[in-house]
Structure 1
């Protein structure tokens, strides 16, 4: 049985997540701008920095639509920051991979990213920051488990 407190907590969690999303987008814009990237470009490049992924794989990893990733990937390829590779697992679904130029753009974010990470850790404390990340991860997993079928 759902209690009023359960509903209040769900609402508070959602509102806090919405605020955090806005705060992280503002920080991401601040970090990405000097390297010539947009937040959307950084998001897609970041998803494939360690290994190429399909557009659908990037969408799942980042929690955004496949169509949005496809549009962004096409722009990144057009600008020479990413390229498409053949996908041995699927003939039609190409893999998105970083180019050397994409790696340079991503590495340009590193120093400011490290400074802000250090500042955040100093404000919260490293253990509390790790606990917050763990709680957010657990919350995300719980939301994934919800039955959202009509």
Structure 2
């Protein structure tokens, strides 16, 4: 069986993806350290952010969709946040079993505090980086995400 060779663009993207995996791990660890004193982790902070960004109460499945995450993982984190008083559940008038997730006052305060910590941290992290380069990376990542959305498996090209 003959192995298909990667194109130069495929090689470049493969290198980028490996670096993105490494960056993701470092960003999550740094985020965990940043918000640990608030009783949060990067994952919890991300869920609180998704709830805030939604603008209205949503069920876990919708939050997971908005995050591009696995519903079961989001449910586990939401359950932990609920146990610790950061979120509450409300009845969903459109679906009896899919409760709506809402921030409690404690959750709102924690998210706001996390964002106050994030601003100087992200400003420092961006020092010396070109805005144009960051915008280019953002466009590339967005284009890749768009190509991957809706696909559970990599495309197989013969």
Whether 1:36 and 2:39 are equivalent positions in the alignment is yes
- Deviation string 1:58-80 (CA, Å, 9 cap, x unpaired) is 21122221111111111211211
Q: What stretches of structure 1 of length at least 5 have no aligned partner?
A: none
2:88–2:104 contact (8 Å) kept in structure 1:
yes
Q: Which has the larger radius of gyration?
A: 2
1:16 to 15, 19, 23: 19
SS at match of 1:123: coil
Looking at structure 2, the residues matched to 2 and 86 of structure 1 have their Cα atoms a distance apart, in angstroms, of 54
TM-aligned CA deviation for residue 3 of structure 1: 4.4
- Which structure has more helix as a fraction of its residues? 1
C-alpha distance 45-147 of structure 1, shift in aligned 2 (>3 A):
closer
- SS where residue 149 of structure 2 aligns? helix
TM-score by length of 1: 0.85
How much is the aligned-residue C-alpha RMSD, in angstroms?
A: 2.4
Would the alpha carbon gap of residues 112 and 70 (structure 1) be closer, same or farther in structure 2, given more than 3 Å must change? same
Deviations 1:98-149 (A, max 9, x none): 1110011111112221012212332213333233223221221122265727
Are the equivalent residues in 2 in contact too, given 1:55–1:69 (CA < 8 A)?
Answer: yes
Larger deviation: 136-145 or 98-107? 136-145
The whole-number CA distance in structure 2 between the counterparts of 1:105 and 1:72 is 15
Q: State the alpha-carbon separation in 1 of the partners of residues 136 and 7 from structure 2.
A: 27
- The answer for the alignment partner of 2:29 in structure 1 is 26
CA distance in 1, matches of 2:6, 2:64: 34
Matched residues in 1 for 2:5 and 2:56: separation?
Answer: 43
Match of 2:130 among 112, 125, 128: 125
